[in-house]
Structure 1
Amino acid sequence: MIRTATPADVPVIHAMVRELAEYEKALDEANATEEQLHEALFGDRPAAYAHVAVADGGGAGDGDGGGDGEVVGFALWFLNFSTWRGVHGIYLEDLYVRPERRGGGHGKALLTELARICRERGYERLEWSVLNWNAPSIAFYESLGARPQDEWTVYRLTDGALAELGAN
């Protein structure tokens, strides 16, 4: 089952963000707090959205009153905009399913929900990034029909370089 995340899901989403960062060998870079995540998802001006995958029964309650299933994965996303197409799209920041729950269709169900939202709202793109060495994820995405955008290179400003440029 896929559902929209609730404030009660923030602790488990935060824990899974850290699990994902550890898997991606970058746990020391994952500094976001539960409070920041809560504000981004549920504050006065939400900047991001999340859906969770809930396993059928047998798990710890997730506190939303929506059954006794355990939250086993999540998709955290935000809107982007294509000047070429003139419409919004979804940028998937994180997709994660706990390792012991992989292969159960949760990741596909999360992506299916995002694709459904795109169609329903007239968005024409669903995009995300994947690490070049993450062969299992690449194979999974390609099995769904996703294709790499290998003519593009992602650039990023952070920390000192961002501060220096912003000070000019």
Structure 2
Amino acid sequence: MEHTSVIRRARVGDLPRLAELVHEHVAYEKSAPRPPGLAERLGPQLFAEDARLWVLLAETPDGTVAGYAACSAEFSFWDARHYLHMDCLYLAEAARGHGLGAALMDGVTGLARELGLDQVQWQTPDWNEGAIRFYDRLGAAGRPKQRYSLAVEPSRGQGGTPPGPGSASR
């Protein structure tokens, strides 16, 4: 029986390999290294009963987890509807060019459909010409924008959990 590539949801046992792939992805994008304990921080976010974060994994025919796509449901205020935000898509270098990226994207669009969402949005660095060509071949539409990030110092006594709907800090 021939084993083919598989796209599947991440399981708890995948956390060590997923963290390795994230660290590879961070290095590939020339970003600052992340602090230790990534797998321990991701686990509760991915596997809580009310989790709103999904990770799809790409397995090669030999069963190696070679890539991932991380997604969450987001709200577009301008469109007044939710969409699936693909925060990351990454394939290990040796796994590129074998159809796993397209398979991951099929998995992501399938997840959006399963969740009742009619759009997937993501971004990629403007220097990542290979990714841009790949997304263009899929028929995706690029929208130029600059992404910003602002660090916020936590208030005393807050553990970093976002406030629930309707709550505000004063």
TM-score range, shorter chain: 0.7 to 0.9
Cα 1:164–1:126 change in 2 (3 A) is same
Cα deviation, 1:124-156, whole Å, max 9, x if unaligned, reads 221111111111111111110112111x33222
CA distance in 1, matches of 2:76, 2:153: 27
Task: Give the TM-score normalised by the residue count of structure 1.
Answer: 0.81
Q: Are 1:54 and 2:59 counterparts?
A: yes
The correspondence of residues 1-168 of structure 1 with structure 2, limited to 5 A, is 1-28=6-33, 30-31=34-35, 33-57=38-62, 69-150=63-144, 152-158=145-151, 162-163=152-153
1:73–1:98 CA contact under 8 A, matched in 2: yes
CA distance in 2, matches of 1:48, 1:117: 11
Consecutive unaligned residues of structure 2, counting only runs of 5 or more, are 1-5, 156-168
Amino acid at match of 2:29: E
Aligned to 1:104, the other structure's residue is in SS state coil
Cα 1:106–1:52 change in 2 (3 A) is same
Going by fraction, where is helix more abundant, 1 or 2? 1
Cα 1:122–1:24 change in 2 (3 A) is same
Task: Give the TM-score normalised by the residue count of structure 2.
Answer: 0.80
CA distance in 2, matches of 1:96, 1:119: 21
Deviation of residue 47 (structure 1)?
A: 4.1
| Identity between Structure 1 and Structure 2 (%) | 30
Count of paired positions = 152
Deviation of residue 164 (structure 1)?
A: 8.4
Deviates more, 1:141-150 or 1:120-129: 120-129
Amino acid at match of 1:39: P
Amino acid at match of 1:110: L
- Give the root-mean-square deviation of aligned CA atoms: 2.2
CA distance in 1, matches of 2:140, 2:110: 15
CA distance in 2, matches of 1:75, 1:5: 10
Cα 1:142–1:164 change in 2 (3 A) is same
Cα deviation, 1:90-119, whole Å, max 9, x if unaligned, reads 111111111001011111111111112223
Cα 1:142–1:36 change in 2 (3 A) is same
CA distance in 2, matches of 1:6, 1:127: 24
Moved over 4 A (4+): none
Aligned to 1:37, the other structure's residue is in SS state helix
